[in-house]
Amino acid sequence: MARRNKGRAVHGIVVIDKPLGLTSNQVLQRVKRFYNARKAGHTGALDPQASGVLPICLGEATKFSQVLLDADKAYDTTAVLGEIRSTGDVEGEVIETHPVPELTEAQVEQVLEQWRGPIEQVPPMFSALKLDGKPLYELARQGMTAEQAQAIADKKRRTVNIHELTLNAQRATELDLSVRCSKGTYIRSLVEDIGNGLGCGAYVGHLRRTHSGPFNLTQAVTLEQLEQLAEQADTHALDALLLPMALAIPDSWPVVELDAQQSAKIRQGQAISTGLADCPSVQLWAVDSGQRQLIGIGRIERRGIRPQRLLQFES
C-alpha cells in the first residue's frame, strides 16, 4: 500500500529572522510545522549564537537549496579584542588573554586589508564541518590536545573570498565590522585572524547575517509572526509570506525559453538541441500563449540543453 505524504504541498521560500539561541535545524522544524509542509530545507546553517537571515525552502523550492548554499553571504559582527576563546565566540572558554594596544583607525585598516580578497582559512574546531563523517565540534569535545585539533583543522583548510570588509565603528576593545563573503566563510575564524594581526586576539561577541544570496533582512519575518498565523489557522496569510522560488536563481544565469514541445521533452528528462553556446547553469522557462513558468534549471553542453533540477508540482 502506497504511503501517503503528510502535510500540505506548499512551495516557495520564507525568509526567517533567526533568533539567538536556536539552531538552524530547530528553526527549520518550527517553520515546517507552522506551514504543515510536506518538505522543507534551509540554505546554510547559522550558529545558535548568531541571528539574522535564514531562508527556508518549502516543497519544490528545496531543489534550489544548493544554489542558495553556494551564494554569497553578508554579516554584521562585533570583534571583542583581548581574548581568545575555545569556540571563537561568547560561548567558549577563555584560553588566552592579552593587553589591547591603543589602536588607530589606520592601524586597524592596515590589518583588515590583509584579509580582503581571496584568503586561506582554517575552520574553527567548534563547527559542524565534518571529518571522516564526524562533526568537528564532536572531535573538539573529546579532549584532544591543541596540536591534535590543529592538525585536524588544517585538513579542512580552504580558500574563501572576502569581497568586502568594512570597519563601521571602533571602541577601546571592540570593532564593529561588516563582511560580504563567499560561501564557506567562517566569521569566527576571520575575527580570530584579525585579532591575531592586531596582536591581542579576538572573538565574536555579536554576529548577525544581513544577506543570504538575494535575500535580506527587509524580507524577513519572525518565528513569532508565523506562529501567530499558524495558531489562527490562517494558511492564506502564511502563504502570502512565501517568496517565489525563482528568486533563488542568480540573475547572471542565462534564461532559456522553451515552447510546449521542448518543455515536454525536458520534463521527461530528455536533452534537446540548441544553437546556444555551452553554459554550466541556465534557467529553464516554459512559454505558452505568452505565459512564462519556471520549470527548473539545467545546463548546456555540446549544443544540447540538459535538465538538472526540474519542478514537479502535486496537489
Helix (H, G, I), strand (E, B) or coil at 184: coil
The answer to whether residues 202 and 176 touch, using CB atoms and an 8 Å cutoff, is no
What is the C-alpha separation between 285 and 63, in angstroms, rounded? 16
Of 17, 47, 76, 89, the active-site residue reads 47
Q: Which amino acid is at 213?
A: G
The angle that helices 24-35 and 223-231 make with each other, rounded to 10 degrees, is 20
Q: Is 89 a catalytic residue?
A: no
What is the C-alpha separation between 194 and 44, in angstroms, rounded? 24
Burial class of residue 190 in the structure, from the number of CB atoms within 10 Å of its CB (0-12 exposed, 13-18 middle, 19+ buried): buried
What is the C-alpha separation between 60 and 9, in angstroms, rounded? 9
Q: Which helix (H) or strand (E) holds 278?
A: none
To the nearest 5 percent, what fractions of the chain are helix, strand and coil? 30, 35, 35
Q: Which helix (H) or strand (E) holds 231?
A: helix 223-231
Q: Which amino acid is at 96?
A: E
The answer to whether residues 249 and 298 touch, using CB atoms and an 8 Å cutoff, is no
Q: Which helix (H) or strand (E) holds 6?
A: none
Look up residue 118 and give its three cell numbers. 581571496
Residues that are catalytic: 47
